[in-house]
Amino acid sequence: MDLIKFSIQRPVTAAVMVIMIVLFGMIGLTKLPVQLAPDTELPEIEVMTSWPGASPSELETEVIERQEDNLKSLQNLQKMESSSYNDYATITLTFALETDVDTALLRVSNKLNEVSDYPDNVYEPVISSSGGSTRPIIWMQMRALEGSDTDILTQRTFFDNEVKQYIERVDGVASLMVFGGTKDQLEIVLDPEKMARRGITINQVIARVTAANNDISAGVLGIDRRNYRIRTTAKFQNVTDPLDVVIVDDGITRILLRDIATSRIGYEPQFVSVMENGAEGIVIGVKKQKGGNVLEIVERVHAEVDRLNEDVLAKRGLYINWSYDEAPYILRAISIMKKNVLIGAALAILVLITFLRSFRSTGTIGLAIPISAIGTFTTLWLMGRNLNVVSLAGISFAVGMLVDNSIVVLENIDRHLKLGKKTFDAVYEGATEVYGAVIASTLTTVAVFLPVIFMKQEAGQLFRDIAIAITTAILLSLFVSITVIPSFMHLIYKKKGPAQKEGGALGKVGDMFISSIMGVSNFFLKNTLTRVGCVVSFTAFSLLIAWALMPKAEYLPQGNQNFIMNILVPPPGYSAEKRHEVGEYVFEQTDAYRKDTGQGLPKIKNVFYVSADMISMFGVVCTDEDETRAGELIPSLNQIIYSMPGMFGISLQPGIFETGLGKGRTIDLNISGEDMGAIVQAGFTLWGAVGQAVPNSQIRPVPSLEMAYPEGRIIPDKKKLAAGGLTEQELGIYVDVLMDGRKVADYSPDGKDRIDLVVRSEEADFKTPEAILAAPMVNNHGKLVRVGDVATLSYEHGMTQIDRLEKRRNIRLEITPPIDVPLQEAMETIRTTVDGLSEAGQLSGLNVKLGGNANKLMETFHALKWNLALAILITYLLMASLFENFLYPFIILFSVPLAAAGGFIGLRLVDLLVARQPLDVLTMLGFIILVGTVVNNAILIVHQSLNNVRLENMLGMDAIKDAIRTRIRPIFMSVCTSISGFLPLVLATDSGSELYRGIGSVLLGGMALSTLFTLFVIPALLSFFIGYEEKGRKAAPVQESLERYSA
């Protein structure tokens, strides 16, 4: 079917097709999830196992090693890490990008079911699909209402049972991260002295309490016409029920539990300190599901929190305070992006009016922008993508290129109209003549994205959104140029031809510019020497500029969120009271920045503090008027951290692609081995060496390099224990009871939620480890002994946390280089430093590897390198097919190195004059896009030159000069509209601009320089080979070849 003729003859049908495109685009826009950036995280599953009272080393040997042995063979598992803390341990499993999370969850659950023989008191593992390192998108704090006498720290069980589930039910919420508060528990408080006087052992108490707290169903008994369910009910229904349990009854003496103990509702020990703006509370972090709409999640969670505040929480004297969420930054970034798109479109239209000096023609071409841009949303929706700054950036970059095809078609139609042809003939022949050229230029632009769309790396998810957006928009613009433009041009001019406009002053300037370009071009085409000199000098200049200006690479843009994360590394063993003191000091020091300090620093709006064994940190949010200046506070916050004795830490502005706390722009240096002492020593060595090699870098060891967590070890005397009829396990259980208590059962009265039933001693009785040695106990012979009679006390030090990487103990140095040191440069420096220490024998027996963003950068850089080569190859083969010639595509590709030089020039100028702009992997994508765009101008020149020779019987040199003269106007019109579309994106410095400014600078610089150089280099190079064309050759003209291919 002749699509051009069909569109001209049936304009209503063409209009209906356009309306359908716009209609479905609007539907897609309303359906697209909205978030800041595409999901780039690899699928993660976290397994958490709790063991109250256990040390990290016990959890490692008794729990983690067993679980790892079963989980290590999971399909598509890329990395397995674990962390063991006091009381609990986690395993984080990272899977390949395309892994189905639901299937992986099932496999993880099955593997964990194979693990048996956990020690007593180990809870069932809890599996989470949100991943241990996923960053919350919302932070809140539950507090007591002003004037309320509710102790917020005792409300954790209430939150877990009455509040948590409502927030987790909100559509799009994956899980909650909760810090602070202590859970309820039913405590049986033993009196060791009374137990000793009555000869009661701890094993007797635990056995009787456990046996008494049981309901047993016996089955169903049928009597006449009714069935009766027979049950033995003995579970404790109130707090005092356990006191009636009979411990001993020998017929003479009966000892009840109340004779040696009391019972009460108590709370777990408090080891965490959580505060916001100086007020204690329970911190809640909300993690989103993969692909969730952040704006909708925030709105829904806000509505649910408001409901809870008015209902459930108000009755309890509590409320949830909203601290921070990502929605304002996303809305601001998207709003700025939309504004830049509109400004770019307006500038492109203004350029068209300047060139065309006709509102009718400009309006006709301008139709390509809204039709193609809105239609793109349909594809994004159908492919399961979301609306974010990156996908909008793709549409923005396309805006400047959407009119390129339409310009070429309209210009040629206008040229035929001026030749005096009838309107239908002029429109049809003008559009048909360049039909092949616009298809060729479109397909080369689209083809370069094919390798990008199928990239598997994490950064490939970012590229995919831009690739889909630009590809769809360009294809739609092709459809518009060969259907809508001819149809509208025919309608506009069929009754009244184009007005004959005088050039005016602007026209004269344009003519002078064209004459100047033609003069320079004619000079380079003068003879063989000038042609060779032109090709060699411009190509060599471009390669030299590209080599000289190529900077070291970064990984991903960091963004500029209104949030500073300060991660603290305190000395091991801080108590809850000491953690609270640290928090009060932080609030006292940061209060000075809540008002104008006179130093020009931004003002602080909100500060929250969390300190536990797992993580200690405080977060800072600036006021709304200073929301883009939060990073300026980092030096001052670092001073606060290092002003605390024994404390060190790091202050970072979280990156928008950050997948874990403090891991935005970090290089992970993993030190693995078997001997923890050797690993720690190597950690200190590398810390010092890297600190010197990369000055002013912030280094955070995970876990802490200080093996100084205080431990009081009760060491049994095996002979004395045996003589007293005791075992090491019985001694350990008794000491456990004397401390924080030992869970022996669940307390779950009818109609109420389950809590732990704990046997413990009175907290005030044992304030020191020495007091435990003095505690009396009854041995299995009924004799009274003290713990100190069968054991000794030794003070030692242990690890606060034990990490493992692929089943080997590991310490990770998270290195954040200074902002002025590119990640690639820092990585190379660190690798050199590590190699030097290895050669010196200081790392023997250990495995030291770079990881984190260092690995991701190298993987992406490697993939991009081959994708660039593949894009060039695809472009070459596509043009060879279209031209039915292997030589002319090679000539056209000479525009690529010219564009590369312009890209690096644009990048450097933006970095110097607009804002800091590194060569991150998103910016690298700009060079791939250039491959498909800069060849378009060369295609127009080569295509027209060959048509002049083959169809118009021109001589080679005359054909080239005529091609330059006739195509120079549409070339510069296309380039100017593209540059106008890019310009607002390149000059933007607001929120989210880091995502697209780099690509825009590369495209702007590359297209500008390449366009100018292409007009000289391509004709000069073509002149050496066009002489081989047969004058007036009809056998296989380019036009026929292109039309046959497109058909």
Which domains does the chain show, CATH number per domain?
3-36+330-496+505-549+884-1046 (1.20.1640.10), 42-132 (3.30.70.1430), 185-268+709-798 (3.30.2090.10), 562-653 (3.30.70.1430)
pLDDT score at 982: 79
CA angle 229, 232, 238 (to 5 degrees): 120
pLDDT on residue 496: 59
Asked if residues 436 and 919 have their Cβ atoms less than 8 Å apart, the reply is no
pLDDT category at 1046 given cuts 50, 70, 90 is very low
Q: Tell me whether strands 791-798 and 784-786 are parallel, antiparallel or unpaired.
A: unpaired
Position 505 pLDDT exceeds 70: no
Joined together, the tokens standing for residue 135 give 């960053």
DSSP 8-state assignment for residue 135: P
CB 278 within 8 A of CB 207: no
The answer to whether the beta carbons of residues 98 and 43 sit under 8 Å apart is no
Q: What is the dihedral of CA 534, 540, 543, 549, to 10 degrees?
A: -100
Its sign, for the CA torsion 73, 74, 78, 82, is negative
pLDDT band at residue 459 using 50, 70 and 90 as cut-offs? low
Biggest CA pair distance of the chain: 128
pLDDT tens-digit map of 996-1008? 888 889 989 998 8
Q: Is 534 left (phi over 0), alpha (psi -120 to 50) or beta?
A: alpha
Mean pLDDT for all residues in the chain: 85
pLDDT at 762: 83
Report yes or no: 653 and 634 within 8 Å, Cβ to Cβ.
yes
Give me 788's structure tokens. Answer: 């100190």
Under DSSP, the state recorded for 653 is -
DSSP string, 525-560: TSSHHHHHHHHHHHHHHHHHHHHHHPPPB-SS----
Q: Determine the average pLDDT of the residues in 424-443.
A: 82
Nearby residues of 505 by Cβ (< 8 Å), 6 or more positions away:
none
Query: In Å, how far are 67, 606, 804 from 104, measured between CA atoms?
Result: 16, 39, 21
| β-strand pairing of 755-761 with 184-190 | parallel
pTM summary value: 0.79
Are the C-beta atoms of residues 933 and 1000 closer than 8 Å to each other? no
For residue 1042, pLDDT beyond 50? no
Residue 579, pLDDT > 80, answer yes
- Quote helix, strand, coil % in the chain, to nearest 5: 55, 20, 30
pLDDT tens track for 978-994 = 888 778 888 888 777 88
Report residue 400's pLDDT band, with 50, 70 and 90 as the boundaries. low
What is the arithmetic mean of pLDDT over 564-575? 87
With a cut of 70, say whether residue 66 has pLDDT above it.
Answer: yes
Check residues 911 and 779 and name the one with the higher pLDDT. 911
pLDDT for residue 544 is more than 90: yes
Output 1029 or 264, whichever has higher pLDDT.
264
* Percent of the chain's residues with pLDDT above 90: 22
675-689 per-position pLDDT tens digit = 888 999 999 999 999
**Which uninterrupted H or E stretch holds 142?**
strand 138-144
Q: What is the arithmetic mean of pLDDT over 837-855?
A: 87
User: What is the per-residue pLDDT across 928-937, written as a single tens digit (0 to 9) for each?
Assistant: 888 777 887 8
Task: State the average pLDDT over residues 210-237.
Answer: 88
What does DSSP assign to residue 162? I
Q: How confident is the model at residue 1038 (pLDDT cuts 50, 70, 90)?
A: very low
Query: How many Cβ atoms from other residues are within 10 Å of residue 955's Cβ?
Result: 13
* Contact yes or no for 838/848 (Cβ under 8 A): yes
β partners of residue 19: none
pLDDT of 1037 > 60? The answer is no
Q: Are 297 and 172 in contact (CB under 8 A)?
A: yes
Checking if the pLDDT of 163 tops 50, the result is: yes
What's the token pair of residue 970?
A: 């549409």
Residue 408 has pLDDT above 50, yes or no: yes
CA distances from 750 to 24, 418, 548, 753 (A): 55, 93, 77, 8
Q: Please, is 894 exposed, middle or buried when counting C-beta atoms within 10 Å of its C-beta (0-12, 13-18, 19+)?
A: buried
Distance in angstroms (rounded) separating the CA atoms of residues 686 and 843? 9
Residue 758: helix, strand or coil by DSSP?
strand
Q: What is the CA radius of gyration of the chain?
A: 37
Instruction: Please report the pLDDT score of residue 1036 as a whole number.
Output: 44
Residue 468's φ and ψ, nearest 5 degrees, are: -65, -45
Question: Which of 615, 624, 619 shows the shortest CA–CA distance to 564?
Answer: 619
For the record, the structure tokens of 852 come out as: 């984190």
Dihedral of alpha carbons 901, 556, 467, 886, sign: positive
Model confidence at 560: pLDDT above 60: yes
Single out the residue of 896, 836, 562, 846 nearest to residue 690, CA to CA: 836
Helix axes 921-952, 997-1022, angle to 10 degrees: 30
**pLDDT surpassing 90 at residue 879:** no
